[in-house]
Each structure stands twice: as C-alpha cells, then as structure tokens.
Structure 1
Amino acid sequence: MRNKIKGISASRGIAIASPYLLKSPDLSFEKREIDDEEKELKRFHGAINQSKVDLSSIQKKVSVEEAKIFDAHLLLLEDPELISAIETKIKDEKSNAEAALDEVMTTYIDMFEALDDEYLKERAADIKDIMKRIMAHLLNKWLPDLSLIKDEVIIVAKDLTPSETAQLDIRYVKGFVTDIGGKTSHSAIMARTMGIPAVVGTSLASEHIGENDLVIIDGEQGEVYINPDSETVKSYEKRRDEDKQHKETLKQYIDLPTELKDGHTVKLNANIGSPSDVKQALENGAEGIGLYRTEFLYMESHQAPTEEEQFEAYKTVLEQMGDRPVTVRTLDIGGDKELSYLQLPKEENPFLGLRAIRYTLKEKELFATQLRALLRASVYGTLKIMFPMISTIEEFIMAKNMLLAEKQKLVVEGISVSDNIDVGIMVETPSVIMLMEQFAQIADFFSIGTNDLTQYTFACDRMNENVSYLYQSHNPAIFTMIAKVAQAAKKYGKKVSVCGELASDDVAQAVLVGLGVEELSMNAPSILGSRFSLINHVKEDLEILALEVTKMKTQEELMKQVNKFLTQITV
C-alpha cells in the first residue's frame, strides 16, 4: 500500500484524523425506448418532487449561508426550460427518463464547463449535483447525509458535490481528499471558503485509504499520508498547531488598513457575484468591493432580471457595505458566457466577437434596464460603475452617454440619484493600454482584468491545451503593460486596481504594488493572508523590484527573481 499520495493543493492547512469514506451509489442505467410516456413523465416528476423534499430537508440542517446553495438548486428544479427539454425527449423520442435527464443535463454541463470565468464555471457543479440527485431517485438509490457526521474525520471521496460540501460541519470535518478536481473546482473553492485543508486530484486516494487508517492532509504541499509513523504524526501535529495560531493572528488584521512598513497603504477589496457574498467579504476585512460580477444575476433565472430585481440586489450590497465603495461591472456576457434567452449569435471566435460592452451597446434596452437599476441604488452607498471589454475611446463615450441619459430620465421622473458616481473601465485589451494617456483624461478609474488581458496579449485561448503554454500571467510583458497603465493613471490623478487572478498571487502582489497599483481585488478568503504578507514590505524596495522585472526577458527569470526577493523578506 502507498504511504504517501500526491495531489493538488486546493486549500492550505494540516488535518489529522480518521477517514470517512464517502461511497457514491452506482447511477449507471440503460437507455431504452418506452411504451407509456405518461407513466414515464410521472416517474420523472416524482423524482423532481422527491429531490425538492430532499433539498428542503437539508436546508433546515445547515447554516443560513450554506442553505443559499440549495436555493439555486431548487431554482434549477423549477426551471421551465430545463424541465420542458427533458419532457420533450420523453414524449417525442420515447426516451426513458434516465436517458432524457442525462442527455439534457449533459448539454447544460458542457456549456458551463466551457466558460472561461471560474465563478460562472461553478454552475456546472450545481447542475451535476442536481442531475445526480434526480437520477438517484429514478433508480431508487440512496444518497448519504453528511450533516449526520458527529466525529472528527477527513472526508475521502471520488468527488464532492456542492450539496455534499454544504452539509459539512467544520467542527467535525477537518478536511477532505478527492480523486478528481483542480484548484478551481467547486469543492476546492468551498474548502478555501470554509477554511479547511483539502487535497484534490489524487486519482486513486479513495481506493488506497481504508476505514481503519489514520490520514494526514498537507494542504500546503498537496500531499496525503496514510498510516504515517509516529515522528511524521508529531511533526504534523506541531505544524497544525502553528497553522491554527497563524489563523488566529490573521484575525487581528480584519479591521486594520494594509499599511506597509513605510506607511504606504494598499486597499484590499473583495470580488463578489451576489449579495450573499458580502458577509464573507466583511468577515475577511474587505475595504470595499472591487468587482461585483453582475452576470450571475442573469444566470440565476430563465429570463433577464427586471429593473426592480436588479435594484434590490445592488441596493442590498451597497447598504451592507456602508461607506465602503462598491465597484459594479456591467453585464459581461458573450464570449464564453452564453444565456439561452439572450440568443447570442453563433460566432467562429466568440472571444473576439459580440461580448460584454459590445453586446450591451447593441442591446440598448437590456443595458438601459441595468443602468437605471444601478443609478437608483446609488443613493444607498458609494457606487462605482465600470464597463467591461472596452477597446476604443468611442465605446467608453457611448456607454457613459447612455448612463448620463438614463440618469437624466430618472431625475425628470423625480427619482433620487447620487451625483458622486465614479465611472471607469476594465483594462483587458492591448488597445486601451496603447491609448492610456487619452483614457486617463476621461475615465475616473481603471481596473485591470489580468485574465483576459493575458489572453489577448498573447493571442491564445487559455482553455485550449495546444496553446495554453502561452498563457503566461507572470510574463514581463504583462507587468510592463500594467506599468504603463499605472503611470498614465498617476499622471492624471486616477486610481488603478487589479481584479484578476494576479491580485491574490504572492509573487505578483509585490510587483504590482511596486508598479503603482493602489488597490487589489480578490476572493474574500485571500484578503487577510495578502494583508499579512504586504505589511512586511517597504514601497521603495517594491519599486526597485518592479523596475528590475520589467526589464527581464522571460516568465521563468521573473519568477526566480521575485521568489528570491520574497525569501529574503521572510528571513
């Protein structure tokens, strides 16, 4: 038997406990032609109703925050488009319910898994989860209830669904290990959110670990130990206690500014996708919302959200954040994000096609509805609005003029609107960087979306494994472009933020602050660790480092130099 298994580090930390082996039921089935479609439809709807009962029951056992996951699942179970598609297969193709469910759901899953936005990609996990639950009822199989666990354990599973993860009580579940998954899989994201160690993508952990074994998870190294010797256990017990102390230490930074040794401050903001994310942002010391992805509002239903629905969502976030600024990105749809009810055109290369601001400027009624909702909500807090995927000066002027026109209409209607709304842009295209002097004179602020900027700079699709090697987020070219943005913004007194994956990256943070980036926006769980790291720096040292790396030739050379610098700081 293997004593150590290597996987992917999904969530840092150390866990030592007995395993809880999560066995999923066999949900295999045979596709067959049915004789009685009414009977089959009754079976299907029975499974839907039983699934609703399941979810309502689980909701009562978990926390308020975790219960919200099941709201999305219940919405899916009532989605008329989804239900109708499955019913049609049963009626028109004489397909049994299992096969109809599998074919329709798989189409949806494939669509979401193809998305480039990691936040929205999580929807695929929700659909898989619902499909598994309905299928289990159709096949009369039992799904385990993890909320019943009352002993300290480490979950070992092939994979964990969102509903299974939401049932985990961290008083008892000390961590988990899965055979499949990566850093951005739903279970990995949930582990980081819950603050428990996790190693994913181990391939065969569930086959190697027995119920009487002792398991150690090293979330830092992505390693799992099975029945380790006493010295290894003692070593990891010591590290676990040190980690626990470090987490307690980080809590003291929740309400403190991110102040470097020389007094220079950097604002650390949170990225969110819905009002329910605000609580976690505040609990982790967010100084504002640096990116509110509004497309999630559009993906929660089978039709576009109304002005009133959007107004309530934006108002809720602004009220909860108080005097802390909230930066809302207008609808960023198209490219990798499709919505059936918007009927986006089929394009050979959607990433270079009708997406984000290009789409909303074309669909003016849809855009105006969102702008009106934002303007109405603006009086409830400090609102900043930014437009995604801007490529030209004309696009920004057109979008801003639409915003001003909707504001004037609201004023005429006697509806209050704030006069202090900053309007900025996402910096995602090389053309904006080449025109930064001009943009800096008319935009109020800039937020650099490093994910798309990297993709467009190197002309590569990062989801295409044939060219993914070109997706180099730490290449000197990217930092040189960011330097140009920061320099032009500083000249005209405008703020620059980074809201892509680089914002929470230890290596990148040091360089970004050295280049003059004043705000970093990231997933909430990364904020306190980032604050703790940054306060050990001196701005002048970071500026020298940044100047050095922008002169380098390769990503490898840059990473080596910055890691050397960070090691010296740590020592």
Structure 2
Amino acid sequence: MQLKGIAAASGYAIGPAFIMQEQAQDVERKVIDASQVEAEVSRLQHAVNQAMAELEKIKDDTAAKLGEHHAEIFATHILVLQDEEFVGQALEKVRSESVNAEYALHEVAQQLIDIFSSMDSEYMRERAADFRDVSKRVLAALSGEKSASLNDFESPVVLFAHDLTPSDTAQLDRSKVAGFATNIGGRTSHSAIMARSMEIPAVVGLKNGTETVNNGDMIILDGARGLIIVHPDQDTIAAYEEKKQKFEKRQEEMKLYKDKPTVTLDGKHVELVANIGNPEDALGARNNGAEGVGLFRTEFLYMGRDNFPTEEEQYQAYTTVAETLGKEKPVVIRTLDIGGDKELPYLELPHEMNPFLGYRAIRICLDQVDLFKTQLRAILRASVHGNIKMMYPMIATLAELRQANAILDETKAELDKEGIAYNKDMEVGMMVEIPAAAIIADQLAKEVDFFSIGTNDLVQYTMAADRMNEKVSHLTQPFNPAVLRLIRMVIDAAHKEGKWAGMCGEMAGNLTAIPILLGLGLDEFSMSASSVLPARVLLSRLSREDMQDIAAQALMMEHEDEIQRFVQERVEAVNQLLV
C-alpha cells in the first residue's frame, strides 16, 4: 500500500511506524464563583510564565543545535505569550465571563487559529500552527501534565502524527526518529523547514496517515517523492536501502561545496543565490552556501501585523540582511507584492473574482504612491550598507516600468534634499512573470539593469491555470515549450542590451531544469536555501557549451514530459543527483 503526500524534506527512512496520539486537553467551559476569579487569573498567568520558561529553554537548545535562525520561531512564540491580543484577551475572558482559564485560553486561541487557517496564503495558513503550539503548551501547564517524549523509542522509528508543532520538531532526536509524516502541513510549515535543516526525511499533507497506518507497520518514507510505502516487500526494502546509502553519501559530498564558487565544467561562473522572506532567513541562506539573496519577499514584513511597517522598521530589516551576508554579496529586494493569495487585513483590498489578475503588486504601489515611497526610501537608505539591488514585481507594460522609475526618481530627489545618503548606482530591475512582459522584453531591457524571471506566476499566466487549483494543477508545466520559449526571449533580450538575467521561481532550483536554463544563458539562479548545494554540485558537472545543444533540442520538442525525459536521459549528472 502507498500513501501520497507532500515532499517536505528529502531523504529516506526505513523502520517501524509509531503513531503519535493527540493528547486530549480539557476545554470544558466551567463557570466559577466571583470570589475565585482572581485566583483563576493568577493560575493562567502562572501557566503562561511556565510555558515561556519552557520555550526559553527550547529556544536556547535549538540555537545551539540548529543556529539562531531556527531559534527565532520560539522567540516569536514567547512574544505571542506577551501579546495583549492573545493572553490579555484570555485573562479578560476569565474576568468578564467568570470561566475557567482552560476554556478562556482555548476560545481565544481557536479564534486566532480560525482566522489564520482561512487565509488564502499558504504561508499565513501555516502560522496557525504557532498558535496551536503555544496554546497547547499553556493548556498542558494548566493541567499539570508533562508532555510526552517523542524520543522514547528502542530503535529508530518513522513517526506519524496529525501535525507536529515547531517545538515538537525541534526536540526530535535524529538517532531515534528516522523520519516523520503528518496528516496536515505544507513545505512552508515550520516543521517542514526545521526537518530540512535537521536532515530528517519528512512527508506532510497525507490527510489520513495516522488512521491508515498502525503501530509497528514496516514503513518506507520517501522524502524526495512525498511517498509512504506500507508493508514493502524485501526487494523494495533492498532497493530503498541502496537509495538511502547513496543519498547519505551524496549529502556528505555536497557539504564540501558549501564555500566554493559556482563554476561550470567549462569555467563559466553563474550566481547561485537564495530566496528569503524575512531577515532571519538570511542566516540560513548564508549557512547553506548561497552567494547572496536573489529574492527578498518584502511582503512578509507587512503580514502578521495590524498596521504598515514604518520606514525605519523596513530600513532596519533590509540593513540586517545586507550586513548578515556581507558587503559584497548581492541582495535583491522585491518591492511589495501583495494581493492575489496574499492579503493584508489592514489594507482594504476590493473583493475580486480573479485576484491574481487584479489589483495587486506594482498596481497597488503605483496607485498608492505614499505606501510605495515609504518602502523605496527604506530600500535606498539601506543600499549604503551592502550590495543591495531592487526590482519591481508584476510589470506588464513599458508605461508601468516608467511610472515606477519616475516615483523612484522623485524619492531620490527627496532624499537628496534631506541630505540622506544612498547608493546612487544601485541596480534597479524588474520581475518577468507576465507573458506580455516577456514578449516585449527587448523594449523593457533598455530601461532596466536586470531581469528576474518569476516562473511560478509566468507558468500560471502562460498556461491560464491557477496554480492553487487542484483541478487544473496538471497544467502547471514549467517545462512546457511555450514557457521555455518565453524564458529564452527574456534572457536573449537582456544579453542583447548587456544586462543580466536571473530566475527566482521554483524552476531555478529544479535539477532537471538547470541544464536547460544554463544552456539558455541564465546568469543567476535563485532558490530555496536548501536547494543551493545540490544545484552547485550539478552546475560544477555541466558544460555551458554542451547544455546549449541540450536546450536547443528541448525547445524543439512538443511535450513537457518528453523534455524532462530527454534531459534525464542525456545529462548523466542529473541522474546522479536525482537519487
């Protein structure tokens, strides 16, 4: 029997299943006497303090084991417990309704969980797990229960759970837990991100894994394909044992490439950089060997709060990233890309039938100039602290690009008048994610310093298929000849004007796509931090000259499946890494 989920962390685990049962927590509503209210308030405050102490220890342990970058999530959890919007409301509920602390905390937490869970953005939906984690810890403190250990196993197991909280994941012992699988979650959940850093193979989003699998069942967990094999036969176990050995050997070899430059077999240097969503991610990018940041998604500075970040807050965030990476390493900051599946509760956007085709990204910024200028000022001010570059998202026309640049020029003039320093030679580029922009790339290239191709949106707009819609997910085809031809047009247009072209969509880190992209002349590959080392190893084994022939042949083919098979058959280095 096989179960299919989402590949969250690569690697292979073989062993008996252990089903983590959800601990029942008392959330019964109990009315208390008025004379007991303050005692109940004190009980809740004591439980919160106990939870904060536990989180402080987990934070310190995580920092020592995984680095400060991953410990930040627990610092955030501590802040949640200090937030009046959370604990303050629960305390007020105890007082105003004369109810028990457990019920008050659970009700407030559930309201917040429901709000985040209903958001369109996967990133924001995953934040609901933070409130589940924090409330679960406080409820355990209120009940006096000690959390069950996830590491009390005689031999390494494959752990199955409905969900794993960040603190659950951080405390896993790699020698006791060979891999884990959860019913819910996605690649951007904290548990998935931590699994990748801890090198624990993981599959998430199984839906009913804990109900289908029994304790002690022999399991193979394939973290590369998002696959669970239940009761495999001996031949399958032997095949996966061999895969596991090859994978682990490859992981050790990759670590030797961490501090090496990204140079192809024929001596061509390409830039290998990372996509990040917040300042803390910069450390993860650096620790994974990235040569800089190719996409700083600044919208996450605006999310999870109830007002716009100030110019100073943004300036500090951009400066932190530049200083974390070092003076010379590039940091490409994308201006605000809100709308579509990313909403701000305090920015009242109109309800739209097709939000991905509507009022979003640069369209909002050109309409709300003050909002745009605040960000531009912060980016310009930060530009003196490192090799900062800036790019606009969702440009569709030459007029939009010129309008954005005109506002940038106005902002520079204002800073000049105020005597505020900035890098007057800062590179300014744009993302190419709309087919219209790719088609007129020859015109746009004359007025930008670089292009960055956003394949996630470029694919969905080219194929007219919503990438969030399972019914049309088969049309999300980055290898479709139409998409590849648009990519070639963009790269060629940039090079004709002496400009560079990068890519920051998921395709940039796809090992099968890299040979084609290298052959098309892509100068910069930006990807998730965990994809950097495999990409560097692959690029070191490829000749750009040879890949030009591969790319030319691929673009003449009819189907994306045909193109992928062709690359994997013709480029041995890809097969060596697709273990």
Q: What is the CA deviation profile of residues 11-49 of structure 1, one whole-angstrom value per residue up to 9, with x for unaligned ones?
A: 222345666653321248568999989789888777655
Match of 1:385 in 2: 390
Match of 1:508 in 2: 513
Matched, 1:69 2:73: yes
Cα displacement (A) at 1:558: 2.4
Matched, 1:110 2:117: yes
Q: What is the CA deviation profile of residues 336-377 of structure 1, one whole-angstrom value per residue up to 9, with x for unaligned ones?
A: 111122232333322222211111222222222211111111
**Aligned mates of 2:550, 2:433 — CA distance in 1:** 24
Match of 1:251 in 2: 255
**Aligned mates of 2:93, 2:571 — CA distance in 1:** 58
Note the 1:105-254 alignment, pairs <5 A.
Answer: 105-112=112-119, 114-115=120-121, 119-133=123-137, 143-144=147-148, 146=150, 154-170=158-174, 173-183=177-187, 185-202=189-206, 203-204=208-209, 208-210=213-215, 217-220=221-224, 222-223=226-227, 239-254=243-258
Cα displacement (A) at 1:463: 1.5
The alpha-carbon distance between structure 1 residues 496 and 470, as it changes in their structure 2 partners (threshold 3 A), is same
Matched, 1:490 2:480: no
Q: What is the CA deviation profile of residues 143-188 of structure 1, one whole-angstrom value per residue up to 9, with x for unaligned ones?
A: 4455899985543322212232223344654432334445555433
Match of 1:58 in 2: 58
TM-score scaled to structure 2, two decimals? 0.85
**Aligned mates of 1:25, 1:257 — CA distance in 2:** 49
**Aligned mates of 1:6, 1:300 — CA distance in 2:** 31
Match of 2:430 in 1: 425
The CA RMSD over aligned residues, in Å, is 3.6
- 81-90 or 410-419: which moved more? 81-90
The answer (yes or no) to whether the contact 2:105–2:135 under 8 Å persists in 1 is no
Match of 2:107 in 1: 100
Counterpart code for 1:492: E
The alpha-carbon distance between structure 1 residues 343 and 76, as it changes in their structure 2 partners (threshold 3 A), is farther
> What is the aligned counterpart of 2:10 among 9, 12, 15?
12
**Aligned mates of 2:210, 2:458 — CA distance in 1:** 37
Cα displacement (A) at 1:439: 0.4
The answer (yes or no) to whether the contact 1:290–1:499 under 8 Å persists in 2 is yes
> What is the aligned counterpart of 2:337 among 319, 323, 332?
332
**Aligned mates of 1:94, 1:549 — CA distance in 2:** 70
The answer (yes or no) to whether the contact 1:423–1:444 under 8 Å persists in 2 is yes
The alpha-carbon distance between structure 1 residues 470 and 152, as it changes in their structure 2 partners (threshold 3 A), is closer
The alpha-carbon distance between structure 1 residues 32 and 433, as it changes in their structure 2 partners (threshold 3 A), is farther
- 315-324 or 167-176: which moved more? 167-176
The answer (yes or no) to whether the contact 2:451–2:502 under 8 Å persists in 1 is yes
Note the 1:524-539 alignment, pairs <5 A.
Answer: 524-539=529-544
**Aligned mates of 2:9, 2:511 — CA distance in 1:** 15
Counterpart code for 1:11: A
The alpha-carbon distance between structure 1 residues 84 and 430, as it changes in their structure 2 partners (threshold 3 A), is farther
Matched, 1:549 2:547: no
The alpha-carbon distance between structure 1 residues 486 and 97, as it changes in their structure 2 partners (threshold 3 A), is same
The alpha-carbon distance between structure 1 residues 101 and 283, as it changes in their structure 2 partners (threshold 3 A), is same
Cα displacement (A) at 1:139: 7.0
Match of 1:446 in 2: 451
> What is the aligned counterpart of 2:355 among 350, 370, 378?
350
Cα displacement (A) at 1:520: 0.8
What SS does structure 2 have at the residue aligned with 1:385?
strand
Matched, 1:315 2:319: yes
**Aligned mates of 1:378, 1:256 — CA distance in 2:** 26
The alpha-carbon distance between structure 1 residues 479 and 188, as it changes in their structure 2 partners (threshold 3 A), is same
Cα displacement (A) at 1:548: 2.3
The answer (yes or no) to whether the contact 2:432–2:438 under 8 Å persists in 1 is yes
- 95-104 or 420-429: which moved more? 95-104
Note the 1:33-52 alignment, pairs <5 A.
Answer: 51-52=51-52
**Aligned mates of 2:556, 2:243 — CA distance in 1:** 39
Q: What is the CA deviation profile of residues 440-493 of structure 1, one whole-angstrom value per residue up to 9, with x for unaligned ones?
A: 000110111111111222222221233333322221111111111111111101
Q: What is the CA deviation profile of residues 376-426 of structure 1, one whole-angstrom value per residue up to 9, with x for unaligned ones?
A: 111111010011111222222222222222222223322221122100011
**Aligned mates of 2:145, 2:304 — CA distance in 1:** 29
**Aligned mates of 2:245, 2:562 — CA distance in 1:** 36
Match of 1:414 in 2: 419
- 269-278 or 466-475: which moved more? 466-475
- 380-389 or 401-410: which moved more? 401-410
Q: What is the CA deviation profile of residues 172-223 of structure 1, one whole-angstrom value per residue up to 9, with x for unaligned ones?
A: 5443233444555543333223222223345335763436x77654434555
Matched, 1:26 2:21: no
The answer (yes or no) to whether the contact 1:89–1:100 under 8 Å persists in 2 is no
The alpha-carbon distance between structure 1 residues 569 and 428, as it changes in their structure 2 partners (threshold 3 A), is closer
Counterpart code for 1:465: E
**Aligned mates of 2:537, 2:47 — CA distance in 1:** 49
- 496-505 or 335-344: which moved more? 335-344
Identity of aligned residues (%): 44
Matched, 1:374 2:372: no
The alpha-carbon distance between structure 1 residues 565 and 169, as it changes in their structure 2 partners (threshold 3 A), is same
Aligned pairs, number = 565
TM-score scaled to structure 1, two decimals? 0.86
The answer (yes or no) to whether the contact 1:90–1:100 under 8 Å persists in 2 is no
Counterpart code for 2:108: L
The answer (yes or no) to whether the contact 1:12–1:219 under 8 Å persists in 2 is yes
What SS does structure 2 have at the residue aligned with 1:155?
strand
**Aligned mates of 1:231, 1:501 — CA distance in 2:** 34
Counterpart code for 2:70: E
The answer (yes or no) to whether the contact 1:69–1:163 under 8 Å persists in 2 is no
**Aligned mates of 1:86, 1:455 — CA distance in 2:** 43
- 25-34 or 451-460: which moved more? 25-34
The answer (yes or no) to whether the contact 1:108–1:127 under 8 Å persists in 2 is no
Matched, 1:475 2:480: yes
Cα displacement (A) at 1:75: 3.5
The alpha-carbon distance between structure 1 residues 353 and 8, as it changes in their structure 2 partners (threshold 3 A), is closer
Counterpart code for 1:23: Q
Cα displacement (A) at 1:241: 4.2
What SS does structure 1 have at the residue aligned with 2:336?
coil
